A and B are shown apart, each in its own frame.
Chain A
Amino acid sequence: MSTPANVNRIGLTSADYKGSKSTLCPGCGHDAITGSIIQAAFELGLEQHKVAKMSGIGCSSKTPAYFLGRSHSFNAVHGRMPSVATGAYLANRELIMMGVSGDGDSASIGLGQFLHLVRRNVPIVYIIENNGVYGLTKGQFSATADVGTRAKSGQVNEMMPIDLCEMAIQLGCGFVARSFSGDPKQLRPLLKAAFSHRGTSVLDVISPCVTFNNHEGSTKSYTNAKEHDAPLHEVSFIPHFENIEIDYAPGESREVTLHDGSRIVLKKLEDDYDPTDRMRAIDTIERGRIENRFATGLLYQSKGSASLGEDLGLVDEPLASLPLDRVRPPREVLEAIMAGLMTGGGA
């Protein structure tokens, strides 16, 4: 059965995945990411009522208002979205968790929470809209600012940047990708693939701030990002509900099968990059830093360890909807405990 081209598998158009109008600066990289999210969600046929959009504080964290208008959303306090997402997921593991954060939110004030979310392997698509600058407070450096990059004020950053992808890989994250807001062709399949991963998937998206970090001397300006973007491969995504073969010549591509049966096909560029090689991934990021370029694509992928929730041995139903008789032990239990406390045998 064929569906009209502008309608997805659950009968919605891409316009149905929009939110309210963006209030960010015209030309903001974040709006381009929003566009990719809308398109990816549309193409996947996500059921919006199952999605929980989580964010922190900052320009990036405002964006959940601009997509998936029929999903519940939680705009948390600065840097603390990961903990809220962790709690929400455990309360209802049927939710499709999506987190949108920025470099200030995740690499500075919220670095601890970000790392612990990854460490716990909370199933969430965690998008960092990385512009190396504090936009909403007008242009201060963030912790992902590269060494030697110059602020609009003229100040030069001398401190090492925090690379959230590298840290995520170190902590056992099973899906780590980096992309560029100006490359929707790469970003969209990576986004879609992230939803098929079981566990935390981290997507660090370089997203130039057109107002405070787009000048000459800034390493995260649009021009500089475009020039130094070094794609590792061409990325295609084949969802589990589609039966498509991509025709690459033998040896020309790699294929990665994800938890739900979806597949990522990576077309080789100059090197044959193996995204399942953890040491290679770290090496690639480190070399990129030295050579002043940033590798984009699927940096690292593994089946990984159990996700939070599997770990805890929870019942299949959401904890949130368990009826009283399943969460209040029977009268005899209290009576037995009381008897123990009378005689000293303990509760």
Chain B
Amino acid sequence: MSAIDNRFTIHVATVNGSGSQTANTTLLRALFQMGIPVSGKNLFPSNIAGLPTWFTIRANDQGYIARIKRYDLLVALNPETSVADVTAMGPGSVLIVADGLPMPAVPSDRTLYKVPFTKLVEPLVADAKLRKLVVNMIYVGVVSWLLNIDPDEVDRALVAQLGKKPKALEMNRAAVQAGIKYAEEHMKRTPFQARRADRTTGKILIDGNQAAALGALFGGVTFLSWYPITPSSSLAEQLEGFLARYRRDPQTGKATYAVIQAEDEISAIGMVLGASWAGARAMTTTSGPGLSLMTEFTGYAYYAEIPAVIWDIQRIGPSTGLPTRTSQADILSVAFLSHGDTKHVILFPATVQDCYEYGMRAFDLAERLQTPVFVLSDLDIAMNTWMSQPFRYPENPWDRGKVLNAEDLERVKKFERYRDVDGDAIPYRTLPGTNHPLAAYFTRGSGHDEAARYTESSEAYPRVMDRLARKFETARTLVPAPFVEKVSGAEIGLIAFGSTHHAMDETRDKLRAEGMPTSYLLLRAYPFPEEIERFIRGHQRIYVVEQNRDAQMAALLRMEYPELAPRIRSVLHYDGLPIDAESILNGVRAIERPSEVTTR
């Protein structure tokens, strides 16, 4: 096996709306089916059709599936970007460029193939409109031949997508064959080769939003309200699809859920609070600008203690920002979202598996703690394709928290909505409709005492606020603990969260090879569980790797552990593209070995 077998990156440059998705998925799936670890990243514009878009497939036998900046094989189909696309390719790379595209001079250590895509597809498809879609399959054929991807797997991947449309399937098959034939006649196989492996057996391919939707489905969501916004819409839409299919009463065919597309995000979160207050498992999905609109209501929910699950699929801000680019820059605003003293519980999914599990667990936490629980995903996890072990069916029942029904009230004889009865700072609640004289209470965002009475008392207000702070301490013990890999003798500890996690293995392997062994902590929730403090104390230097400009997670950690602040450094990445190991390595090297970095 050659050193670069099963270790290559395919970069496809096309025009948005040109229908390349099926083609790219076919390549991705074929490699996956051959047992090779893969990931697929779609870099798309905020546009329906016409602007440039890129799709990158990374195959890596070591399982490194984060983004990599070096591409080995380019498919250039977009005249607008072809010069830049070709220029970006390094020595040893293979370039497949549509015939007639603007081109720079190509150095001789790159392999260049100009392919007459249009001419190849013409005899296969009569309809000019269809031709534009099918032409993509020509490059599937060409690339699969160059990389030696098993043609049977290409065909299987094609059938899986188009099996229900026989006519389209035949047309696309013919295009793949035409591509293969052209490559056989005009090209020679690349040094990058796909060889059958066993690294994907039993695994699934899924995006984070779909995984989150499945989590909510099996978590028993009964209410979803949302307002369309990229990159969160596909979570709500896929959830609605699952609900329509799997959550109809078998006898009556009626829905065991309600989904409302709200008029804006204020309304979306307002409906969630109303539904949750009345006892539904309620959630919303949003991103940056929508999150800002939800600010007032989330402060209300914190203070009036109403469960809510809010998925924030982070994109680049501030303001409209770059709506289709990834980011982790909502951490500080979410942690304290609202005016007044407010602290929110946050979960940070790093994998599609996390998205699925937090899809359920966020409800349990929100209802147990009677507070909003934010799930901070990001565009990279949410909308790109990831491998995973299949998700496991939940073995535990749900946790609906401290709700008193009429019989409970009859037994306890006393009910005060905001009284800490159990010492965990979590009070009991009743639901409207409870038929008992003690059940009713007044929910308000204005000052209230333990019995939910209006008050401006300067004793009652701090009492309630201090209990809420204690409740946050209870949350600390309930949220997911970090994943920790302690390496004995390592002076450096790396902390990451969210999609950054996927670049960490590669980063750490390389650092180790350079004589810098590192421990690793995958941070999964705020408030920070105690393991995090232990981890920071256990290392001389801590690097918090995050995808924002202002080192937001590092700031939160310094706030939490002021005496440990001098140990905390940052590696930051915020250009909107998914983070890659090389960027992290450079960040760490720049601080650890500054003299070497300048000569590198």
A: which residues have CB within 8 A of B? 47-50, 52, 54, 64-65, 69-77, 80, 82-92, 94-95, 112-113, 116, 120, 309, 312-316, 318-322, 324, 326-329, 331, 333-335, 337-338, 341-347
Contacts and interface: CB of A to CB of B under 8 A. Distances in A.
B132 interface: no
Given A77-B300, A87-B280, A88-B432, A329 B443 contact: no
11 contacts: A74-B443, A75-B446, A76-B270, A83-B225, A87-B277, A87-B282, A95-B433, A116-B263, A312-B259, A314-B258, A345-B163
A328 B270 contact: no
Interface in B422-442: 430-437, 439-442
A92 B222 contact: no
A113 B296 CA distance: 15
A344 B205 contact: yes
B255 A312 contact: yes
Nearest to A92: B278
B247 A343 contact: no
B270 A327 contact: no
B256 A322 contact: yes
Interface stretch (B212-220, B542-550, B562-570): B212-220
A327 B275 contact: no
Contacts of A50: 433
Contacts, number: 233
A77 B205 CA distance: 43
Given A92-B278, A94-B433, A328 B390 contact: no
Given A83-B274, A86-B271, 13 more contacts: A48-B440, A54-B274, A69-B440, A76-B270, A83-B225, A88-B432, A91-B222, A91-B276, A112-B267, A313-B254, A315-B249, A343-B160, A344-B156
Interface residues of B, number: 83
B254 A314 contact: yes
Contacts of A84: 270-271, 273-274, 277
B461 interface: no
B101 interface: no
A335 B392 CA distance: 9
B205 A316 contact: no
B233 to A, nearest CB: 17
Contacts of A337: 214
A116 B267 contact: yes
B582 interface: no
Given A80-B267, A116-B263, A319-B280, A334 B393 contact: yes
B512 interface: no
B444 interface: yes
A73 B433 CA distance: 11
Nearest to B161: A344
A272 to B, nearest CB: 39
B266 A83 contact: yes
Interface of B: 25, 29, 33, 156-157, 160-161, 163, 202-206, 210, 214, 217-223, 225, 238, 242, 246-247, 249, 252-260, 262-264, 266-282, 296-297, 300, 390-391, 393-394, 397-398, 430-437, 439-446, 454
A319 B258 contact: yes
A82 to B, nearest CB: 8
Nearest to A78: B296
B252 A315 contact: yes
A324 B217 CA distance: 11
Among all A-B residue pairs, the 3 with the closest Cβ atoms: A87-B274, A83-B270, A320-B279
A72 B267 contact: no
Contacts of B210: 347
A201 B220 CA distance: 33
Contact of B390 (A309, A322, A338): A338
Contact of B202 (A48, A112, A120, A342): A342
A319 B222 contact: yes
A20 to B, nearest CB: 8
Contact of B223 (A113, A319, A345): A319
Given A84-B270, A87-B272, A327 B222 contact: yes
A72 B223 contact: no
A83 B393 CA distance: 34
Contacts of B217: 329
A65 B443 CA distance: 10
B214 A77 contact: no
Given A77-B300, A344-B160, A326 B249 contact: yes
B393 A87 contact: no
Given A74-B443, A342-B202, A324 B270 contact: no
Indicate the member of B218, B271, B430, B433 with the most A CB atoms within 10 Å: B433
B214 A334 contact: yes
Nearest to B266: A80
Contact of A87 (B220, B276, B394): B276
Given A83-B262, A328-B218, A75 B281 contact: no
A86 B270 CA distance: 9
Nearest to A47: B435
A49 B203 CA distance: 51
B163 to A, nearest CB: 8
Q: Among the interface residues B242, B280, B391, B397, which one has the most CB atoms of the partner chain A within 10 A?
A: B280
B443 A326 contact: no
B400 to A, nearest CB: 9
A72 B440 contact: yes
Contact of A74 (B204, B253, B274): B274
